[in-house]
Amino acid sequence: MLNVLRRLSSRQRQMAGAALIFIVLQVWLDLRLPDYMSTITTLVTTEDSAMSEVLKQGGYMLACALGSLVCAVVVGYLAARIAAGLARTLREEVFNHSLAFSDAEVGRFSAPSLINRATNDVTQIQNVIAMGMQAVVKAPILAVWAILKIADKAWEWTTATGVAVIVLCMMLGVIIAVAIPRFQRIQGLTDVLGRVSREQLTGIRVVRAYNAEAYQERKFADANDDLTGNNLVANRVMAIMSPGMTFISSTLTLSVYAIGAHLVEAAAGPQRVSLFADMVVFSNYAMQVVMAFMLLTLVFILLPRAQVSARRITEVLSTRPSVADAPRAASPGQDAAAPGTVTFENVSFRYAGAGDDALTGISFTAAPGQTVAFIGATGSGKSTLVNLVPRLADVTAGRVLVDGRDVRDYSLHDLRGRIGYVPQRAYLFSGTVASNVAYPRGDELTEQGRDAVEQALETAQASGFVAEMEGGADATITQGGTNVSGGQRQRLSIARALAASPGILIFDDSFSALDYTTDRALRRALARRDPRATTLVVAQRIGTIRDADQIIVLEHGRVVGQGTHAELLATCPTYQEIASSQLSKEELRA
């Protein structure tokens, strides 16, 4: 929790200091009320007392009450401002830090958990700060000050108050021992419920296709029951607290008056008025002591979850991304090779926790203007290989060079600014066609940017269906691109990569959803668009890559063939097997 509180700005700390001053003032005003009440009691029970003096003391009480109200409002306002400001800072830090995570870190935390940490966990901390500033700070001051006020009164009353406090502490101790572990589990169970919900909604088509609704309902019900059961136990225990506090408070009040009645009865005439006034004052101060502990119970309800939330947020913020900028990243314009050159030098790669390498000893060079294609069975390492170029992951051994420099020597912004990347799974963001193609410029498109969008759409063979959409390039795209077909999503994703005219284009199996005619037209348009661009293509269809300048055949993460289509048909058994499964005998002889 302290790691989170250190992120308070200087202004927020100044506001916290001001809130502390108002809290102390509020406590002082609250504790002045019994004193005035004692004076009024003495005046009322004394003969020849002037009504004006009684009204004067009543006016002081009213002023203290109003002053306490003003202080409470100011403290509440300052606490809310501090809590909301810190929550905003934490959400921004968690989100921005998560953007720097590679697939390894995202896989470690899981997307639903990261979302939960940036929303629900931050809200827990916001709540405990907003309420805790008033409870945690006020309660000890109120308790200590009230105890000092009653310390010199009759020992019988002090003993009764002490017994009440001891019983109260024992009750709170039992509640905390049972409830806190439950509250600590709630966040993790919420993550599980979020993951199950996200999985079900994301894969809803598969669920329906296999009539698996009942299975998913049971899966959700199990996660929901775990969370519900945990909440029920914790909240049932916490439910004991309120009636328990009321019982202790009422019993203490009864004890104070019972003891007071005995003391008054046993006292001499002149002392009775003084004892009666002391009884009224003591009962009020005793209630203030109990009230202080009641305030602390609010913290006991909120703090356990907030501590877990703070630990989860700190865990995200303290995780260093496995892919990060080098301490001294290379500056643009200092490259040792022609722009667009991609070189792999004996590259190996292993996923974290894996027993074997996903790639072993990969070496090749893609010169500017060349098209280098990668083909092989599923799981042979094709996507893994091209993901090393934009540093979506870092090599385990060897080097990947772009324009003659190790990719790890570039800043990530500069490196990825040179590359147009089309992922295996096309993803579109909520917005418009234009904002997706010109991503991330979005709504700030200039006329020149509009022209670039139109050219990219035309090259990607997407201008036809975009023109038919309502609004054309300004047509609405839903999150994930669910309002367009798979092939349309892929073409828009390709257009997005082309819009910035990068020197290196990477297509990770990006033509699989296209028909052969569109595939061929797209490849021809790409060749005409920028003959100097280097193109890396992952494909399953030989028809997509047969005209490539260089084809690399992968098997179990190793290169088993490298050359042109004709050369591989003559020399590479793996390529021959793939070709014979896709091409006719006439096409093989062509």
Residue 548 lies in a domain: yes
pLDDT at 442 over 60: no
The CATH number linked to 310 is 1.20.1560.10
Q: How confident is the model at residue 329 (pLDDT cuts 50, 70, 90)?
A: low
**pLDDT per residue as tens digits for the range 481-520:** 888 988 899 999 999 998 888 889 999 988 877 888 888 8
* 327 within some domain: no
Residue 382 pLDDT class (50, 70, 90 cuts): very high
Distance CA 90, CA 74 (A): 24
Query: Looking at the structure, do residues 52 and 122 belong to the same domain, yes or no?
Result: yes
Burial (CB count within 10 angstroms: exposed 0-12, middle 13-18, buried 19+), residue 141:
middle
CB 348 within 8 A of CB 362: yes
| Mean pLDDT for the chain overall | 83
Spatial neighbors of 379 by CB under 8 A, at least 6 apart, are none
Give Cα 74 distance to the centre of its chain: 31
pLDDT higher for 241 or 502?
502
Q: What is the pLDDT of residues 509-538, one digit of tens each?
A: 888 778 888 888 888 888 887 778 899 999
The answer to whether residue 330 is domain-embedded is no
> Per-residue confidence at 342, pLDDT binned at 50, 70, 90?
very high
**Res 298: pLDDT:** 67
Does residue 265 sit in the same domain as residue 379?
A: no
Q: State the chain's maximal CA–CA distance in angstroms.
A: 126
* Confidence at 540, pLDDT banded by 50, 70, 90: confident
**pLDDT average, residue stretch 369-381:** 90
Closest alpha carbon to 502 in 388, 403, 394: 403
Tell me how far CA of residue 128 lies from CA of 94, 248, 280, 414, in angstroms: 19, 26, 35, 42
d(CA 252, CA 376): 81
According to the per-residue pLDDT averaged within each range, which of 381-385, 423-427, 527-531 is highest? 381-385
What confidence score (pLDDT) does residue 311 get? 86
Same domain, 224 and 279: yes
Q: Is the dihedral of CA 94, 100, 101, 106 positive or negative?
A: positive
Give CA 441 to chain center in angstroms: 24
Q: Where are the alpha helices (DSSP H) in 319-411?
A: 382-387
Is-contact 254 105, C-beta < 8 A? Answer: no
Share of the chain above pLDDT 90, in %: 23
User: Which band of pLDDT confidence, cut at 50, 70 and 90, is reported for residue 74?
Assistant: very high
Residue 76 within any structural domain of the chain: yes
pLDDT 10s digits, 245-282: 778 878 877 887 787 777 777 766 666 666 776 777 77
Q: Report how far residue 244's alpha carbon sits from residue 363's, in angstroms, rounded to the nearest whole number.
A: 74
Structure tokens belonging to residue 152? 């010199």
Structure tokens at 246: 């009321």
Cross-strand partners of 506 = 421, 536
pLDDT in tens, 216-238: 889 899 999 998 988 888 778 77
349 and 314 in a common domain: no
Best-predicted range by mean pLDDT (34-43, 155-164, 543-552):
543-552
Q: Tell me the sheet residues that pair with 484.
A: none
Check whether residue 291 and residue 369 sit in a common domain.
no
- Is residue 46 domain-resident? yes
Average pLDDT over residues 289-306: 72
Could you give the CA distance from residue 380 to residue 212 in angstroms, rounded to a whole number? 31
Say whether both 257 and 385 belong to one domain: no
Residue 286 has what pLDDT?
73
User: Looking at residues 382-391, what average pLDDT do you find?
Assistant: 93
Q: Write the DSSP string, 151-208.
A: TTS-HHHHHHHHHHHHHHHHHHHHHHHHHHHHHHHHHHHHHHHHHHHHHHHHTHHHHH
Same domain for 426 and 387: yes
Say how many C-beta atoms besides its own lie within 10 A of residue 221's C-beta: 12
Q: Does a structural domain hold residue 383? A: yes
Residues 473 and 521 in one domain: yes
443, pLDDT greater than 70: no
Number of domains in the chain: 2
Q: Show the tokens assigned to 536.
A: 């890396």
**Interval 123-148 mean pLDDT:** 77
Name beta bridge partners: 561.
553
pLDDT band, very low/low/confident/very high, at 82 (cuts 50, 70, 90): very high
What is the domain extent for residue 24? 2-318
Q: Which of 302, 318, 334 is the last residue of a domain?
A: 318
Beta-carbon contacts of residue 489 (< 8 Å; ≥ 6 apart) = 426, 427, 428, 481, 513
- Check pLDDT > 60 for residue 308: yes
So what's the pLDDT on residue 73? 92
Residue 402 backbone zone (phi > 0: left; psi -120 to 50: alpha; other: beta): beta
Percent of all residues in the chain with a pLDDT value above 70, rounded to a whole number: 91
pLDDT given for residue 150 in this prediction: 65
| CA-wise closest residue to 405 among 391, 423, 421 | 391
Who has greater pLDDT, 112 or 361?
361
Closest by CA position to 495, among listed 531, 455, 527: 455
The answer to pTM > 0.85 is: no
Give mean pLDDT, residues 118-133: 85
CA of residue 376 relative to chain centroid, distance: 38
**DSSP 8-state secondary structure symbol assigned to residue 324:** -
347 and 298 both lie in a single domain? no
More confident site: 153 or 127: 127
pLDDT digits (tens, 9 = 90+) for 162-204: 788 788 778 877 777 777 777 778 777 887 888 888 888 878 8
pLDDT at 335 over 60: no
DSSP 378: T
Among the candidates 303, 318, 333, a domain finishes at: 318
The answer to whether residues 267 and 214 belong to one domain is yes
Please tell me whether residue 29 adopts helix, strand or coil conformation: helix
Q: Is residue 377 part of a domain?
A: yes
Six token digits for residue 76: 């509440």
Q: Rounded to the nearest 5 degrees, what angle is found at the Cα of 63, between the Cα atoms of 61 and 67?
A: 115
Q: Let me know whether 279 and 137 are in one domain.
A: yes
Q: According to the model, what pLDDT value does residue 85 have?
A: 92
Element spanning 346, H or E: strand 342-349
Instruction: Please give the residue that has the higher pLDDT: either 111 or 83.
Output: 83
298 with 358, same domain? no
| CATH (domain of 529) | 3.40.50.300
- Is 329 contained in some domain? no
Least confident of 214-228, 285-299, 471-485: 285-299
Q: Is the pLDDT confidence value at 14 over 70? A: yes
